[in-house]
Structure 1
Amino acid sequence: MKQVRQYLRNGALDIGEVPIPAVGAGDVLVRSHYSFVSVGTEKMKVSQARMSLVEKAKQRPDQVRLVLNTLREQGLVATLRKVQERLKAPATLGYSCAGTVVEVGSDVDEFRVDDRVACIGEGVATHAEYNAVPRNLVVRVPANVSLEAASSSAVGAIALQAIRQAKLELGESVAIIGLGLLGQFLVQLCRANGCRVIGVDLDPGKCALAAENGAEAACGPQADEALHHTLRASAGLGVDAVLLTASTKDLGPIELAAMLVRDRGRVVCLGNTAIQLEWRTWFGKEIDFLFSRAMGAGINEPDYFTRGNDYPIGYVRWTANRNMQAFLDLIAQGKLAVPRLITHRFPFSEAISVFDRIASGELNQAVGIVFEYPEPEKGVFELQPRTLTFGGEQPRGAVRLGQIGAGNYAKSMLMPCFPSLADLSLEGICTTKGPNAEALAKRYGFRKATTDAGELLRDREINAIMVATRHDSHARYAALALGAGKHAYVEKPLAMTEEQLAPVVTALGTRGADGPTLWIGHNRRFSPLSQRALAHFKGV
């Protein structure tokens, strides 16, 4: 399948052929019909990736702090390896799409093949022909809602979550500063919520669109004009809430928000905007300042995002998934007009040129951008490869390795050692995400890249398996490797529970005298301190 990839080292973009993603027990595999471009977010990502390392560091001081912490904890060599790996690894773009279900995981019973669905989530609902999306980030699309409109669900959920953070009530007034796609959704949603709306933006075209979408007035950021409209809409009191979506380093938007909001009003920040609260104004008005984080509860929690554990509705009313459902229901009821916000449509094959135009500012006037994917012929999905093979002219060594998993530790500590190991041939690498497997296979010289671990276990040329997956799957893959007659090297821990360990013990017990061996990566036993401790207590 094809997927958009970005490289942090130099900002290069491509549409590469990668293995179709693995489908976990709680995943839904979706063929994309449309993917939505979040112009502000993706422009920031593309532009930052094209900066020099110094400029990147200035833009992301949080990442600099992480590097310094790693340097203190792990030393220079390990830190350099991790930084270099991060720069070399391909990243995906996009976090909102819609399409049809082609496969479901073994634990998923709420979706069926051919269901029309919307998907969200960074790294899972990407600009790609196929995406494996965790069940909590997938919602069925109502029959009277187009997949094109549904592909905007991530941005719609972000807007809904902001309104919930602002606690807007029927009859209240609200100012929206920043009238891009997110701001336009907020205009429509606030109107549907029974609020009076004032819009503010530098772009007259976006102000006009906001008026079409129901804003009582929309104007530029000049303080006098914005305050005039605000006082008219609020009986001279100031608006009850300000929703701040602008992305800027200028303090103008936050200062304007404080000017427009009433005494003890609320300001909710959704955008990446400069924040410096002038004490006299904010204290004098006793303004509540809030952030609205992404699409709703759970979106940043691994237990919800990855493992599919939902929150009981009696405790958490509006999760990311429920916000998606509410957004699509509002479209179905005719309360939201999404098509008028989609100003540009492009074939997926033109994605790279579109991102170049976004980064250059050529598409600054765009509001909503979608990529359209071609309709495949019947049966094409069954032909999508989970494995890509590459030419391998090198002779095979005594150790013919298949690698399952390639997390941070494997990429920064284990794999850099491969070139120095004699008599080792790299036969295949398996990761859950196709771009990662394909990039690592090409960089290190593996003969194949796959998202199907069974492909390596069935390969008769492979006689050793290295397991470098998440801790809770170490034992399962170790047992499968031993059962397939292959030696197994497993990163610690071997197992998390006795129940996980049991199949490994059984596999070891049934092997023959010349059967496969098991190796555990407890590397601390070779450290100088450990060696000295063993020598000190020898004979005790």
Structure 2
Amino acid sequence: MGRAFRFSAPRRAEVVDVEDPSPGPGEVLLATVASGISAGTELTVYRGSNPYLTTAWDPRRRLFVPGGEPRPYPWDAFGYEEVGRVTGVGSDEDRDLLGRVAWGTWGHRSSVVRPASYVRPRILPVGARPVVGVFAKIGAIALNAVLDADVHVGEDVVVFGAGVPGQVVAQLARLNGARVTVVDLVPARRELALALGAAAALDPASDDVAEAVRAATDDRGADVVIEMSGSHQALQEAVRTAAYSSRVVAAGFLQGPGTALRLGDEFHHNRIAIVGSQISGVAPHLQHRWSELRMSDAVLALEREGRLRLEELITHVVDAEEAPAAFAMLDSAPQAALQVVLDYGTDELMPPGAAVQRAVGR
């Protein structure tokens, strides 16, 4: 039997037995090596705030439709930061994939079957550390936000939220030639952002962010602001922080009514453009060249080249059976962790001496 993580009800989770899959023709079997927890999206399901739980999504019209059929609990094997090793194939022509490691999206489960055509472009290079593959999709989400931001050399960029995607966004914006300021409530996250190359880090609990950024930019404000925290309060301050006739990219997964927004203030008077950034698509003027797969490949290539530091974002590597405890920690004490990785016991994920916790709560 295999094992899979299940959201059973709000703030109730468990790991359950599932049938082991077998590959058919043109398919391969992947034994999961590692699975990263997305502390933004996945916590919306854990907490019960995800809109899919209460409202039906019409994919054809791209509308949440009242009165439709929402997706109720349980949610099994939800997640999108997986890495696995090919342990079986359904066709002889795919035997060259045996033993290779690939990244992808199949949720927190011990094994999965995927088409060989899906796996081939996601194979990690020989010698690459498997754990880096958990950043493929969250890295694409971050790069998509930077592409939507249209960052230019010499610009001042402010990133709200220094969780995993925010830390990646800050590094990518700096690679684009920007001077980056990071905003977060958690001191350890601000310190890490500075260590990874941010020029400044602000605490929104004690700093007036809009005032501080104007003081550092000859009263101009930020050329572009990227909101990654999913907080309406942060989005409001992002609007205040942006320069006249500038852009705010809203990439965090905002939940519920936006009562903190004051759209008659700086948004209206400063002609601020708020651009939604979501991994379902790329900016229209880039769609002919960029795709989600290319964005993931670009992020992983930058890591291999030493220009993007990802493993330093990992704070916990825990046994996959401890996943319910990991979610409880992320829910109740989000400041205690950054990237949590579930270990399926098939590889040594981190180098000896790596500064990660091996159990929740230690």
Q: TM-score, normalised by structure 1?
A: 0.56
CA positional deviation for 1:48? 1.0
Residue 31 (structure 1) aligns with:
31
- Distance (whole Å) between structure 2 residues aligned to residue 110 and residue 163 of structure 1: 38
1:198–1:229 contact (8 Å) kept in structure 2: no
Residue 16 (structure 1) aligns with:
16
What secondary structure does 1:100 align onto? strand
Residues 187 and 130 (structure 1 numbering): CA distance in 2 closer, same or farther, change over 3 Å? same
Percent identity over paired residues: 27
Residues 87 and 144 (structure 1 numbering): CA distance in 2 closer, same or farther, change over 3 Å? same
> Which structure has more helix as a fraction of its residues?
1
1:5–1:90 contact (8 Å) kept in structure 2: yes
Which residue of 137, 149, 158 corresponds with 1:175? 158
Deviations 1:397-447 (A, max 9, x none): xxxxxxxxxxxxxxxxxxxxxxxxxxxxxxxxxxxxxxxxxxxxxxxxxxx
- Distance (whole Å) between structure 2 residues aligned to residue 333 and residue 295 of structure 1: 27
CA positional deviation for 1:292? 0.8
- Distance (whole Å) between structure 2 residues aligned to residue 169 and residue 27 of structure 1: 43
Residue correspondence of structure 1 range 267-286 to structure 2 within 5 A: 267-273=248-254, 275=258, 276=261, 278-286=263-271
Q: Which runs of 5+ in 1 are unaligned?
A: 50-55, 71-81, 299-313, 377-540
Q: Which runs of 5+ in 2 are unaligned?
A: 58-62, 348-362
Residue 78 (structure 1) aligns with:
none
Deviations 1:20-78 (A, max 9, x none): 235466654321111101112222211218xxxxxx89x965349978645xxxxxxxx
CA positional deviation for 1:133? 3.8
Residues 27 and 323 (structure 1 numbering): CA distance in 2 closer, same or farther, change over 3 Å? farther
Radius of gyration: which is bigger? 1
- Distance (whole Å) between structure 1 residues aligned to residue 214 and residue 130 of structure 2: 40
- Distance (whole Å) between structure 2 residues aligned to residue 222 and residue 42 of structure 1: 26
Residues 3 and 259 (structure 1 numbering): CA distance in 2 closer, same or farther, change over 3 Å? same
Residue 307 (structure 2) aligns with:
335
Residue 5 (structure 1) aligns with:
6
Residue 62 (structure 1) aligns with:
55
1:97–1:118 contact (8 Å) kept in structure 2: yes
Which residue of 206, 214, 222 corresponds with 1:239? 222
- Distance (whole Å) between structure 2 residues aligned to residue 100 and residue 142 of structure 1: 13
1:217–1:229 contact (8 Å) kept in structure 2: no
Residue 381 (structure 1) aligns with:
none
Residue correspondence of structure 1 range 103-502 to structure 2 within 5 A: 103-104=88-89, 112-120=97-105, 125-133=106-114, 135-136=117-118, 139-222=122-205, 225-231=208-214, 233-248=216-231, 251-273=232-254, 275=258, 276=261, 278-294=263-279, 296-297=281-282, 316-359=288-331, 361-375=332-346
Aligned letter for 2:344?
A: Y
What secondary structure does 1:160 align onto? helix
Q: TM-score, normalised by structure 2?
A: 0.81
- Distance (whole Å) between structure 1 residues aligned to residue 234 and residue 24 of structure 2: 44
What secondary structure does 1:336 align onto? coil
What secondary structure does 1:39 align onto? coil
Residue 87 (structure 2) aligns with:
102
Aligned letter for 1:43?
A: L
What secondary structure does 2:36 align onto? strand
CA positional deviation for 1:130? 0.9
What secondary structure does 1:205 align onto? helix
1:142–1:329 contact (8 Å) kept in structure 2: no
- Distance (whole Å) between structure 2 residues aligned to residue 329 and residue 294 of structure 1: 19
Deviations 1:108-135 (A, max 9, x none): 9697222221113xxxx21111123454
Which structure has more RCO (C-alpha within 8 Å, separation ≥ 6)?
A: 2
1:351–1:371 contact (8 Å) kept in structure 2: yes
The CA RMSD measured in Å over matched residues stands at 3.3
